[in-house]
Amino acid sequence: MQKTYHQELPIISEELSKYLNDLLGKKLRKKYLKSIITPMEEYTLHIFKNYEKIDIILRNLQNLGYKARINKRFQNLIEVKPKGPFKLIVEEDLKEIVVDNRASEMIYQGSDVFIPGIKRANKVRKNDQVKIVSLEQILVAKAEALMSHNEILSKKRGIAAKNILSPYKVPSLLELQMENEPLFFQSFPAYLTSLNVDPGSEDKILDCCSAPGNKTIHLHELSGGKGKIFAVDRSSNRLQKLNERIEKFKLRNITTLKGNIVEMSKNWQVKFDKILVDPPCTALGLRPRLHISISHKIIKESSRYQKKILKACSKMLKTKGILVYSTCTITKEENEEVIEYIINNSDLKLVEQEFQFGNTYLSQSQIQCGIQRFIPGIDQTVGFFIAKLQKK
């Protein structure tokens, strides 16, 4: 017997539901939740070298069945619409592979099933058709097993099952066979973030939470490869991936450093012309999200750490230097309240952003200029926040 599955809203706690209602209001909260469970309406593919290949890349996307076009204002961006939504119809008696929440969200938008994300695959045999479900039993795909349960247990990596049908299909560099080309998918607000840093060829630039490095590479591109960039991150694995990209694409003038920028800043005497602060956050703007387990306690803890990072970086900025702060979340504690804190506890002031596209503001916030905010349900992108500050 076949059954059609459709998930309209992500699984969230009552606490988070109330928080979103207080933050956004009942109508916008509903729009946000309906949007956050889907991929972005458009994905942006950022080409940062070999610009002459843009037309070829565009044709490749179109040949794969994607609606794609070059951005009218930024000629090194290709806008791509995902495919879907498709009806997810599966046989109820199929064996199942259970995956973790992050993996389920990737598979939901077309990814194959990779071994590291699998939690259970009881009695699955090679060539079985299986259903892929999250830990909360949300069905995300129908797939064909490429290996048995025992093989999955014995291996640490590789594709365990081929995605046959999922609600959406989002383009990937793997599908394009362009993993080694100088390009990457990046949300439009993230692209705007680096533009507003406006790095020059003679600038000394700090990217203090840099890995996996999309914004680092963009800063390098914008400075003509001449600005001196210091890319700092706490994660060795993520920083290693950035180092591999730097080496692969022969990017110069980028120095990577592992460490906590708050602690590192205590011993640094160097001053920077430009600083990008894109700190760890609750990521309530990322899409798609099928399950969100963020609590108000986590939001407050995240905000406290962000304030520490921003305060540390403000001390390393030259007079009249520029600092851009960004997050991929929608909470006021991690965005407007962090900016209010730093204005009141440092010599930084808000300044207007040259590249301003997000015009959604929170009614309860006093800050209405010098920032831009993107909210799913209003803006057709990820949830995002950008503020631009200058040292007095």
> What does the pLDDT average to over 136-153?
95
User: For residue 179, is it within any domain?
Assistant: no
Whether 331 is in a domain gets the answer: yes
The backbone region for 251, taken as left when phi is positive above 0, alpha when psi lies in -120 to 50, beta otherwise, is beta
158 and 267 both lie in a single domain = no
Residue 127: is its pLDDT beyond 70? yes
Q: How many angstroms separate the CA atoms of 174 and 341, rounded?
A: 43
Tell which of 130, 165, 200 closes a domain: 165
Judgement on whether residues 139 and 202 belong to the same structural domain of the protein: no
Q: What is the pLDDT of the chain when averaged over all its residues?
A: 94
Domain stops at, among 134, 165, 196: 165
Packed helices 336-344 and 296-314: angle between N→C axes, nearest 10 degrees: 40
CATH number of domain containing 120: 2.30.130.10
pLDDT, position 5: 67
| pLDDT at res. 3 | 59
Same domain, 128 and 208: no
Check pLDDT > 90 for residue 11: yes
Q: Which residues contact 96 (CB under 8 A, 6 or more apart)?
A: 120, 130, 131, 132, 133
| 366 vs 171 pLDDT, higher one | 171
Tell whether the model's pLDDT for residue 362 goes beyond 90. Answer: no
210 lies in some domain? yes
Does residue 53 lie within any of the structural domains? no
Q: How are beta strands 291-292 and 11-12 bridged, if at all?
A: parallel
Q: What secondary structure letter does DSSP report for 340?
A: H
Asked whether residue 342 is assigned to any structural domain, the reply reads yes
pLDDT band at 368 (very low <50, low <70, confident <90, very high): low
Q: pTM for this one?
A: 0.94
Q: What is the CATH number of the domain that holds 306?
A: 3.40.50.150
**Domain check: are 211 and 349 in the same one?**
yes
Is residue 77 situated within a structural domain?
Answer: no
Count how many domains the chain has: 2
Task: Say yes or no: 150 and 263 in one domain.
Answer: no
Q: How far apart are CA 344 and CA 46, in angstroms?
A: 36
State how far the alpha carbon of 375 is from the alpha carbons of 41, 295, 379, 381, in Å: 13, 19, 5, 8
pLDDT at 290: 96
How does residue 360 score in pLDDT terms, banded at 50, 70 and 90?
A: confident
3-state secondary structure of 349: strand
The answer to whether residues 107 and 228 belong to one domain is: no
The predicted pLDDT at position 364 comes to 66
221 and 124 within one domain: no
- Give the pLDDT band (50/70/90) at residue 221: very high
Fill in the amino acid letter for 64: L
In a domain, 362, yes or no: yes
Same domain? 127 vs 207: no
Q: What band does 156 get if pLDDT is binned at 50, 70 and 90?
A: confident
Do 140 and 284 lie in a common domain?
no
- 140 and 207 assigned to the same domain: no
Residue 133, pLDDT above cutoff 80: yes
Domain coverage including residue 107? 88-165
Q: In what order do the strands lie in the sheet with 43-47?
A: 68-70, 77-80, 43-47, 183-185
Whether residues 314 and 249 fall in one domain: yes
User: Over the stretch 280-328, which tens digit does the pLDDT of each residue have?
Assistant: 999 999 999 999 999 999 999 999 999 999 999 999 999 999 999 999 9
Q: Tell me the C-alpha distance between 148 and 115, whole Å.
A: 12
For residues 154 and 193, membership in a common domain is answered with no
